[in-house]
Amino acid sequence: MGENLGSNKNPLTREQVIDAATECLEHFGVAKTSMIDVARKLGVTRQTIHRLFETRAILLEAVAEVRIQAAAKKLASMFATYDDIEETLVYGTLQSLAVGRSDTLLYEIQQQADHSVDQYMFRGSPMIQQLMLDIWSPVLERARAEGRIRDGIDNDKIVQWVRNVHAMINMRSDYSEAQQIEILRDFFVPSILRKPA
């Protein structure tokens, strides 16, 4: 039945807990899923789950990371189609937000989770930063070779700014797409690109 999943013979893995948590979150919803639900799903005690994930918030972050990794794969192929850096900064940002919102569980975690998870979603982690660098760096390096990126800002900093812009636009759900584009063109693009000569 799975009672031995937490035993030394057949130890419970992080991946098994994340998979079970994902199923529970999809079935019960983020607000109603507890660590007990996940433990029951696996046939182990809540303490066994806590040995791998100290808090519910940490488990939600782990589920979110798996979903973000899947979204990053989609975005990498989308970004490969962009030629112009300004269009990438505007429409790549909007596409990133759309892909994130299209994952209903990821979006629900962001909307329903407690403050620490909400902050994590915006702040990210070294893994999320690296995923975003992998997506953005090819486009940024082409633009840098063309002399279009302002001096003194590296890709790491630009990606941090991208995350901050994502957070700002996410918080303003009242903005139309036209307003979002206007903000990106008037505020975000000039912070990264040189002014045309």
CA distance 71 to 107: 12
CA distance 29 to 23: 10
Q: 113 in the Ramachandran plot: left (φ > 0), alpha (ψ -120 to 50) or beta? A: beta
Of 83, 79, 81, nearest to 92 (Cα)? 79
Task: With cut-offs at 50, 70 and 90, classify the pLDDT of residue 4.
Answer: very low
Tell me the CATH architecture of domain 64-192. Orthogonal Bundle (1.10)
pLDDT (0 to 100) of residue 3: 40
Distances (CA, A) of 24 to 136, 167, 191: 33, 27, 42
Instruction: Let me know: does 65 contact 128? Beta carbons within 8 Å.
Output: yes
Please give the CATH topology (third level) of the domain spanning 1-54. Arc Repressor Mutant, subunit A (1.10.10)
pLDDT (0 to 100) of residue 20: 97
Percent share of the chain, pLDDT over 90: 55
- For the chain, which residues make up each domain, given as ranges? 1-54, 64-192
pLDDT (0 to 100) of residue 101: 84
pLDDT digit string, tens, across residues 106-152 = 888 877 656 555 555 556 678 888 888 999 999 999 999 999 999 99
Residue type, 112: Q
Domains 1-54 and 64-192 share a fold: no
Give the CA count within 13 Å in the CB-facing half-sphere of 39.
15
Cα 137–chain centre separation: 17
